[in-house]
Copies of this chain bind each other. A is one copy, B any other.
Amino acid sequence: MGFANSVLPEGSGKSPAPGRLTSVYSEVQTNRLHHPLPLPSVLRGPFKLLDGPPSSAAGNPDEIAKLFPNMFGQPSAKLVPTGSVPTGLPQGLRIGVVLSGGQAPGGHNVISGIFDYLQERAQRSTVYGFKGGPAGIMKCKYVELTPDFIYPYRNQGGFDMICSGRDKIETPEQFKQAEETAMKLDLDGLLVIGGDDSNTNACLLAENFRQKNMKTRVIGCPKTIDGDLKCKEVPASFGFDTACKIYSEMIGNVMTDARSTGKYYHFVRLMGRAASHITLECALQTHSNIAIIGEEVAAKKETLKNVTDYITDIICKRAKLGYNYGVILIPEGLIDFIPEVQQLIAELNEILAHDVVDKEGLWKKKLQQQSQLLFEFLPQAIQEQLLLERDPHGNVQVAKIETEKMLISMVETELEKRKSEGQYVGHFKGQSHFFGYEGRCGLPTNFDATYCYALGYAAGALLHSGKTGLISSVGNLSAPIDEWTVGGTALTSLMDVERRHGKFKPVIKKAMVELEGAPFRKFASMRDEWALNNRYISPGPIQFIGPGSNNVNHTLLLELGAQA
């Protein structure tokens, strides 16, 4: 029960997968195929769904109600054990699954989870995997999933079983295409595995199908390594645990290197453009000397100079203690959090669109004074990048700025100044790193593997019970797996509206790092200690067996009030 191996045909063991035909498996990969996926106890026996009270919205409920007349207000649902197997549930369901957006470790297990649910509880069901993300729905490009096809992806990283994509189903024509696909395949349900945007899209699809009196129901699933899709009912997005542990392994290694050589400051940029959860979690895991949290920078309305000075001050203090090395973590999206940088970029876009950038620099006079000062403060390489590298619309490409190199250069300049003033006597050498792609497709940790399998299995239960417009929700994650809670949360209850081009658009607000939340408060209470005394922890490579292999990340534990 609940172990998908049982649904596999004999002998499908180590043979190459149809989908991964060209792959060869390492010993660790092969071993992961056989890793058991225990289900929470409520999913192991017979269960029924209990509806909660009517729901509202995260903000502007009236507007959300207008945008989702059919979905708004519907209750969240909770799975509870029941004495006997419920009768009357349909068999032979036709279900589609789609992966949407960037990769996150565990996506394959969500698919394994819903697949196994249907095999076990809705016999003669068919599962279609839409290929290449939402575009696969619109173009009706899919593959029919079979046990043989799915098996080799079990507990494996990546999204390559059916691949993903970043298209959105937005225009009336695109919704029409989705309807046609749903009709053509006679879909009873669709599982959308994605981030905040994709889950908003899932709810719009659910609303649309219901409005058209179609039978196709839509359930979402919380995916993003960035960790910014979460709320009370959905305590974590999958992939965050694995990605942070992969980055923390690397950071731990770099820390040991820093301490051994004693001559480098490593500036490590980490993925996470919108929120700084990854940086915060990696700081909690490794005790880096410095970690910049974008949300704090924004809340304190700090300037780039403030951030530079904060780093420089610590480097100077460390030099006095004899430490001319350290590790500094920086979120990818840092400069998006700094108001003056946004202002400069807006002005630059305006100027570059209409004026000539003369070599003498007269054009700079068109910048407001604060922006002019900031521009002059930036390292030359960054200045050039801002002026030269532009996107097809002619806009400055903020995403291309290598923040870690920029900070190294600014800190260097500031240290030289302080040296000349006699305030700094150390020696500084910066090394830059970007840890990004390495973390999105690793083999999922035991936590992510099990969590994803439960999310997928729960999604199967929700669709089977006729639910739509919910996001699969597995909770109580700091308890043993057996005690995890399972249910579905109304997607509209997570939504607010934003005004774009004069219209209200529904959005699931990104969960930012809460400065009053337990993870940040723990970090804030320790950071001065970590800054000056080297309390480095090297988490080491992710282990799948033995001590530490079932540990959960600090962010989740702290948010759940458990001891991290």
Interface positions of A (Cβ within 8 A of B): 22-32, 103, 132, 156-160, 163-164, 246, 249-250, 252-257, 259-262, 264, 266, 287, 431, 433, 437-443, 533-548, 551
Chain A interface SS verdict (over half): loop
A32-B256 contact given A24-B287, A437-B266, CB 8 Å threshold:
no
Residues on B with C-beta less than 8 A from A159 are 260-261
Q: What residues of chain B lie closer than 8 Å to A30, measured between beta carbons?
A: 547
A22 in contact with B535 given A103-B257, A431-B437, A548-B28 (CB within 8 Å) = yes
- Besides A22-B536, A103-B256, A543-B544, 17 other A-B contacts (C-beta < 8 A): A22-B534, A24-B287, A25-B537, A27-B547, A27-B548, A28-B547, A29-B537, A31-B546, A31-B547, A103-B261, A164-B260, A249-B442, A257-B440, A431-B437, A433-B437, A543-B543, A545-B545
* Complex alpha-carbon distance, A156 and B544, angstroms: 19
Shortest distance between the CB of A452 and any CB in chain B (Å): 15
> In whole angstroms, how far apart are the Cα atoms of A254 and B533 in the complex?
34
A467: min CB distance to chain B, Å: 29
Q: B253 touching A441 by the CB < 8 A rule?
A: yes
A31 CB to closest chain B CB (Å) equals 4
Q: A61–B252 Cα gap in the complex (Å)? A: 46
Task: Point out the residue from B28, B103, B257, B262 that lies within 8 Å of A540, measured CB to CB.
Answer: B28
In-complex Cβ contact of A541 among B262, B440, B535, B542 (8 A): B542
Q: Which residues of B contact A24 (CB under 8 A)?
A: 287, 535-537
The reply to whether A254 and B441 form a contact with Cβ atoms under 8 Å apart is yes
Q: How many copies does the complex hold?
A: 2
Point out the residues of chain B lying under 8 angstroms from A156, CB to CB: 256, 538
B534 touches A163 (CB 8 A): no
Q: Is the CB of B23 within 8 A of A537?
A: yes
User: A443 near B538 (CB under 8 angstroms)?
Assistant: yes
Determine the chain B residues whose CB is within 8 A of the CB of A32 once the complex forms. Answer: 540
Closest to A23 in B: B536
Contacts of A257 in B (CB 8 A): 103, 158, 437, 440-441
15 A–B contacts, CB within 8 A, in A order:
A23-B534, A27-B548, A29-B540, A158-B257, A164-B260, A249-B541, A253-B437, A253-B439, A256-B441, A264-B437, A433-B437, A443-B540, A443-B541, A543-B544, A545-B545
Residues of chain B with a CB closer than 8 A to A541's CB:
28, 246, 249, 442-443, 541-543
Option from B438, B545, B546, B548 in Cβ contact (under 8 Å) with A254: B438
CA distance A545 to B535 in the complex (A): 27
Q: Which residue of B lies closest to A162 (CB)?
A: B260
Assuming the A-B contacts A158-B257, A158-B260, A543-B543, are A252 and B26 also in contact, with contact meaning beta carbons closer than 8 angstroms in the complex?
yes
In the complex, which residues of chain B have a beta carbon less than 8 angstroms from the beta carbon of A545?
543, 545-546
CB distance from A539 to the nearest CB of B (A): 5
**A163 pairs with B260, CB closer than 8 A:** yes
Closest CB in chain B relative to A260 CB, distance in Å: 4
Q: Are B548 and A31 in contact, CB atoms less than 8 angstroms apart?
A: yes
Q: Judging by beta carbons under 8 Å apart, are A22 and B540 in contact?
A: no
